[in-house]
């Protein structure tokens, strides 16, 4: 539903939990699911609504961050509230003896919001540029973690390109399950999870969101090259006359310098790739 509309459902039936804190309801529901399915294989998609607006952190975390300025204090308190709730879920896995045989993935969906209902911000994508709705790195390069004790490296960081649509193929591989016999947009990232030098399964990648039908915002990534068209949260001087911005991500990961005029051939090559891609997805 829209802002301030009731939108709480369980298995297709609307339920009312007046006066309850939604994150606590989420944890309780997940706890029940885990206890019920502890002796069988399961998949749990825990789509907690934190730190999405409205920013309603627990008071103890507001007190903890009382010396931060608004809206940073609100956002920090909300993230810590989320962190605590996720921790409760992990403790439940430990209590049930499921931790070592359970793959846990944590991932955000986009950059932080600067909308009015977040009091204009509070998050940070530093050192990257952009936030929610932008195809600059600050809008699309987000945190992700995976844990599977005894099966994958621990305390390791990976910098290769991977995306949320890759989890499907990755989990299918880990669980020895066949993929559907049709085109799958994502690819398994098991190799880069295991190795910091393994190549990304994506030689190219594409995004499109917002803008207008006639002038959409989109981006293409080919190796270290990234071509943006009509990028939101940009300045008029960032783009050329055709609203293109070409970035060499190897030397300019903060996306400050448009080199489209120096590499018109690369602009045209990536534009053609985008055009072919949008036709393909439109016809699927």
Q: What is the pLDDT of residues 205-228, one digit of tens each?
A: 999 998 888 889 999 999 999 999
Helix (H) or strand (E) holding 132: none
Q: Measured between alpha carbons, how far is 64 from 105 in angstroms, rounded to an integer? A: 27
Identify the pLDDT of residue 53.
85
Judge contact between 190 and 174, C-beta under 8 A: yes
Identify the pLDDT of residue 1.
42
* Secondary structure (3-state) at 226: strand
Beta strands in the chain (DSSP E): 9-10, 13-14, 104-107, 144-147, 204-211, 216-222, 225-229, 244-248
Identify the pLDDT of residue 277.
94
**What distances in angstroms separate CA 244 from CA 19, 217, 260, 274, one per listed residue?**
50, 10, 7, 13
Identify the pLDDT of residue 283.
83
Whether this prediction's pTM lies above 0.85 is answered by yes
Task: Answer whether CATH 3.40.50.800 is correct for domain 204-283.
Answer: no
Identify the pLDDT of residue 4.
66
Q: Measured between alpha carbons, how far is 13 from 7 in angstroms, rounded to an integer? A: 11
Q: Where in the chain is the domain with CATH 3.40.720.10?
A: 9-194
Residues of the chain short of pLDDT 70, as ranges, are 1-4
Identify the pLDDT of residue 65.
96
Q: What is the CATH number of domain 9-194?
A: 3.40.720.10
Q: What are phi and psi of 222, to 5 degrees?
A: -130, 100
């Amino acid at each position: 539903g829209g802002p301030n509309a009731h939108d709480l459902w369980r298995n297709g039936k609307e339920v009312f939990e007046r006066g309850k804190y939604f994150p606590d309801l989420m944890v309780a529901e997940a706890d029940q699911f885990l206890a019920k399915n502890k002796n069988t294989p399961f998949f749990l998609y825990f789509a907690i609504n934190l730190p999405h607006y409205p920013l309603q952190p627990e008071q103890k975390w507001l007190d903890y961050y009382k010396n931060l300025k608004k809206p940073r204090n609100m956002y920090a308190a909300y993230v810590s509230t989320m962190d605590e709730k996720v921790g409760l879920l992990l403790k439940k896995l430990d209590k049930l003896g499921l931790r070592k045989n359970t793959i846990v993935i944590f991932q955000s969906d986009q950059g932080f919001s600067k909308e009015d209902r977040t009091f204009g911000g509070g998050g940070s994508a530093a050192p990257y540029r952009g936030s929610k709705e932008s195809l600059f790195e600050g809008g699309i390069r987000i945190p992700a973690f995976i844990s599977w004790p005894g099966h994958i490296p621990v305390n390791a960081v990976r910098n290769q390109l991977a995306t949320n649509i890759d989890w499907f193929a990755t989990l299918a591989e880990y669980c020895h399950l066949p993929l559907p016999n049709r085109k799958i947009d994502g690819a398994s990232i098991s190799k880069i999870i295991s190795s910091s030098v393994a190549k990304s399964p994506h030689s190219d990648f594409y995004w499109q969101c917002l803008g207008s039908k006639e002038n959409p915002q989109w981006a293409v990534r080919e190796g270290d090259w990234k071509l943006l068209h009509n990028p939101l949260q940009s300045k008029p001087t960032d783009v050329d006359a055709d609203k293109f911005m070409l970035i060499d991500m190897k030397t300019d990961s903060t996306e400050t310098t448009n080199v489209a005029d120096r590499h018109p051939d690369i602009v045209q090559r990536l534009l053609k790739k985008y055009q072919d891609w949008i036709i393909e997805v439109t016809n699927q």
